[in-house]
Structure 1
Amino acid sequence: MEGPVINVGDSGAGALLHLMRDGQPRTRAELAGLTGLARSTIAQRIDTLLGAGFVGPAGEATSTGGRPPARFAFNPAARVALAADIGATHGRVAVTDLAGRVLAEHRDELDVALGPETVLDWMIERFHELLAGVGRGQRDLIGIGVGLPGPVEHSSGRPVNPPIMPGWDNFDVQGYLRERLGVAALVDNDVNIMALGEHFTQWPAAAHLMFVKVATGIGSGLISHGRLHRGAQGAAGDLGHLQLPHGADIVCRCGNTGCLEAIASGAAIAARLTGQGLPAKSSRDVVTLARGGSVEALHAVRQAGRDIGEVLAAAVSLFNPSVIVIGGSLARAGEHLIAGVREVVYRRSLPLATQDLRIVQSRTGDRAGVIGAAVMVIDHALAPSQVDAMLGTQSAR
């Protein structure tokens, strides 16, 4: 086997499963060569994983004489994850396999301001319906991942002073879901999980990526060295509340003035267009007007891109991403938003930071959030220590 030996000798079957999650079929001998473990140890751990369904037979390798050796590969169908992406005005839930593939999903218009119990009870009811629809039950669950449209302390899963989520402050979302569904739940803000989903599905080789959501509000998620960067309290990427100098007289819902979100979000553009005699209540209405050829709407969207670009130019100098992905409902207005962003970022940032920088529209679209929420909880549940605890293999090593 080419490549370095991977030391998994200090862990149990969980570390071997972690290695096999790339989906590549391997024989016991190949796994022994990769890990440096004895074939008898590999055989024991493969048997444990086979018994739990986490790996399965994957045909036979080419024989070099005698009986062809069996190959084994990760089995994404072994369990399922539940995922939810809750926005300001919508909710999307899904069931995925362990590779993050969506097996079933549901979307509704949903006002997050209805409060945590109402929104979470809606989520739980939809989860039960989706599980029944794909023929899976409670014992198949690996966990639940949830994204919420506000600041979240990731370690506790509790929203912290979310401006558009009355009644949610410090609510124990994880505990509420765990009590009713019987499995671990992880919670993060919606832009972080969208960044995870976009990176996982479209840009796995991009070590440094920035996902910017432009919808009712504006936020960003940061992927650094291939992992989500949350910061000390989980507040990293709060792009929408950075101040623009030319917006000093515009009051933001956070209480400050001049915030990017108060100037360039879908809600802000909709309000300005309404004031100009073009009724618009949301980002969707702005997109409809822009796609319909409204000069006022197109101009407003392009200017929003420039305003966002001003803040992103500073972020590019600080973070130096290789990819900036623009998502959210306003991104569907076409190239006008991204063109405005590119116009300013490429002009204002240093050439070294932009020489290989790509600024692109989200490819995952509406599914980025639920895929990211699923990836978040799958990576947690399939961490080697978690798998060992689940299988009871720590004492059997």
Structure 2
Amino acid sequence: MTEGVVGARTPGSGDLFQLLRDGRPRTRAELAVLTGQARSTVAGRIDALMATGLIAPAGEATSTGGRPPATFAFNPASQVVLGVDLGATHARLAVTDLASNVLADLDAPLAIADGPGPVLGWVAETGTKLLETAGRSPDELAGVGLGLPGPVEHATGHPNNPPIMPGWDDADVPGLLGARFDAPVLVDNDVNIMALGEHRLAWPEVADLILIKVATGIGAGIIADGALRRGAQGAAGDVGHVAVPGAEEVVCRCGNVGCLEAVASAQAVAAHLSAAGLEVAGPADVVALVRGGDVTASRAVRQAGREIGAVLAATVSLLNPSVIVVGGILAESGEHLLAGIREVVYRRSLPLATQHLRIVVARTGAQAGVLGAAAMAADHALSPAAVDARTA
């Protein structure tokens, strides 16, 4: 950044720290070369970072003559974050260090329809107990990341007309939860945090990735050029309400007809199988039938994959991802869903766009969301501006 330009920020300790986030030990001399800053400046900033605990001595480098130089590395154990993934009927919480290593976690049933007061009160109480389980104090909490099953305006953290969350519209989630934790609270929708978690922990080398969650609804999280893309109102990736050719007669809960969610979600497949005479109460029964070898259920899931593939084919041509990750409960049914998606995407998309495209099931499984929420909180706490504020 250029000094003297109005609004420009002079690189400080926060920028130096970013070079150490990969965990690799470096000497003062190496950091001076990488930053182009004077050794005295680098030494002062290392001292400031060590005072916060964010970096720590990491031994000595190989000597080239004389006393071996000291090295310094990121210390992810210096603080912790709380990740929270809330679904329609469940909650997952995890306390992790600043490098996403899980120290304590918990899965529990929870009804999002109970409203923001009871739900966030439970989150605060349970999160505090989980910190104790991890052997950490509230003073060590650097931030809270929370995922919600509906549209969220990320800049404010307020839900935006969430269809399955009565009483949550425009609720001040960061304010309500921040009153219980003396730490920043970041909020996003559940699919975005799943995409972030899967990208960070399973595909860090991939710059362009789409995660599609196939559960009660269908949504996508978009990683483009290495960053999560949310769109103008936080509605990017809402593929569940893209119209599917040939499905015009199916009414969606959004009021339109022929939406992908109405014909290919886990709930839609369950309803289809129930109407066909199978004993299916919900998505978990669909997964059980497919795993048990039921032909009717397997064919229904594969057809759902084809419908999803028809929408993803256009997305592939538009965004050209390297990887499409399929998550959500219907992905637990095995290869039938993936086979249907691959069948249509590879047939309809341009060969150039699919030449190296991989379509895979989520590697982080059900933990993708809570790990992504924790990573979101850690990213905020470790941003250059936040680190500068701590070392000022």
TM tier relative to shorter chain: over 0.9
Please tell me whether the aligned partners of residues 216 and 282 of structure 1 are also in contact (alpha carbons under 8 angstroms).
Answer: no
- What SS does structure 2 have at the residue aligned with 1:146? strand
CA apart distance, 1:42: 1.1
Find the aligned partners of 2:12 and 2:126 in 1 and give their Cα distance: 36
Find the aligned partners of 1:278 and 1:161 in 2 and give their Cα distance: 35
Instruction: Provide, for residues 284-328 of structure 1, a one-character-per-residue CA deviation record: whole Å limited to 9, x for no partner.
Output: 111011101111111110000000001001111111111100011
Identity of aligned residues (%): 63
2:46 is matched with 46
2:105 is matched with 105
Amino acid at match of 1:164: I
Cα distance, 1:81–1:124 mapped onto 2, change above 3 Å: same
Please tell me whether the aligned partners of residues 9 and 36 of structure 1 are also in contact (alpha carbons under 8 angstroms).
Answer: no
Aligned-residue Cα RMSD (Å) equals: 1.3
CA apart distance, 1:355: 0.9
- What SS does structure 2 have at the residue aligned with 1:245? coil
1:388 is matched with 388
Find the aligned partners of 1:318 and 1:354 in 2 and give their Cα distance: 12
2:171 is matched with 171
2:118 is matched with 118
- What SS does structure 2 have at the residue aligned with 1:247? coil
1:91 is matched with 91
- What SS does structure 1 have at the residue aligned with 2:246? helix
Instruction: Provide, for residues 260-304 of structure 1, a one-character-per-residue CA deviation record: whole Å limited to 9, x for no partner.
Output: 111111111111111122222222111011101111111110000
2:151 is matched with 151
CA apart distance, 1:180: 1.3
CA apart distance, 1:105: 0.5
1:245 is matched with 245
Amino acid at match of 1:84: V
Find the aligned partners of 1:227 and 1:379 in 2 and give their Cα distance: 12
Find the aligned partners of 2:26 and 2:390 in 1 and give their Cα distance: 24
Find the aligned partners of 1:28 and 1:126 in 2 and give their Cα distance: 42
1:324 is matched with 324
- What SS does structure 2 have at the residue aligned with 1:289? helix
Return 5+ residue gaps in structure 2 as ranges: 1-7
2:189 is matched with 189
- What SS does structure 2 have at the residue aligned with 1:198? helix
Amino acid at match of 1:26: R
CA apart distance, 1:11: 2.1
Please tell me whether the aligned partners of residues 52 and 390 of structure 2 are also in contact (alpha carbons under 8 angstroms).
Answer: no
Please tell me whether the aligned partners of residues 54 and 74 of structure 1 are also in contact (alpha carbons under 8 angstroms).
Answer: yes
CA apart distance, 1:207: 1.1
CA apart distance, 1:257: 1.2
Aligned length: 385
CA apart distance, 1:10: 2.3
- What SS does structure 2 have at the residue aligned with 1:71? strand
- What SS does structure 2 have at the residue aligned with 1:40? helix
Return 5+ residue gaps in structure 1 as ranges: 1-7, 393-397
Normalised by the length of structure 1, the TM-score is: 0.95
CA apart distance, 1:179: 1.1
The aligned runs of 1:1-397 (5 Å cut-off) are 10-392=10-392
Find the aligned partners of 2:90 and 2:281 in 1 and give their Cα distance: 15
Please tell me whether the aligned partners of residues 9 and 35 of structure 1 are also in contact (alpha carbons under 8 angstroms).
Answer: no
364-373 or 337-346, which deviates more: 364-373
Please tell me whether the aligned partners of residues 128 and 138 of structure 2 are also in contact (alpha carbons under 8 angstroms).
Answer: no
Amino acid at match of 2:362: S
Find the aligned partners of 1:11 and 1:299 in 2 and give their Cα distance: 57
- What SS does structure 1 have at the residue aligned with 2:180? helix
2:4 is matched with none
107-116 or 48-57, which deviates more: 107-116
- What SS does structure 1 have at the residue aligned with 2:100? coil
Please tell me whether the aligned partners of residues 270 and 283 of structure 2 are also in contact (alpha carbons under 8 angstroms).
Answer: yes
Find the aligned partners of 2:14 and 2:356 in 1 and give their Cα distance: 38
- What SS does structure 2 have at the residue aligned with 1:142? strand
129-138 or 276-285, which deviates more: 276-285
Find the aligned partners of 1:136 and 1:289 in 2 and give their Cα distance: 43
Find the aligned partners of 2:237 and 2:189 in 1 and give their Cα distance: 10
Amino acid at match of 2:356: D
Please tell me whether the aligned partners of residues 61 and 71 of structure 1 are also in contact (alpha carbons under 8 angstroms).
Answer: yes
Instruction: Provide, for residues 97-151 of structure 1, a one-character-per-residue CA deviation record: whole Å limited to 9, x for no partner.
Output: 1011111110012221121112212211111111001111121011110111111
Instruction: Provide, for residues 341-370 of structure 1, a one-character-per-residue CA deviation record: whole Å limited to 9, x for no partner.
Output: 000000011111111111111101111111
2:3 is matched with none
1:395 is matched with none
Find the aligned partners of 2:123 and 2:132 in 1 and give their Cα distance: 14
Amino acid at match of 1:119: V
CA apart distance, 1:385: 1.1
Normalised by the length of structure 2, the TM-score is: 0.96
Find the aligned partners of 2:280 and 2:116 in 1 and give their Cα distance: 28
Amino acid at match of 1:373: A
- What SS does structure 2 have at the residue aligned with 1:222? strand
152-161 or 10-19, which deviates more: 10-19
Instruction: Provide, for residues 162-187 of structure 1, a one-character-per-residue CA deviation record: whole Å limited to 9, x for no partner.
Output: 11111111111111111111211111
- What SS does structure 2 have at the residue aligned with 1:59? strand
Amino acid at match of 2:54: F
Instruction: Provide, for residues 240-276 of structure 1, a one-character-per-residue CA deviation record: whole Å limited to 9, x for no partner.
Output: 0111122211111111111111111111111111112
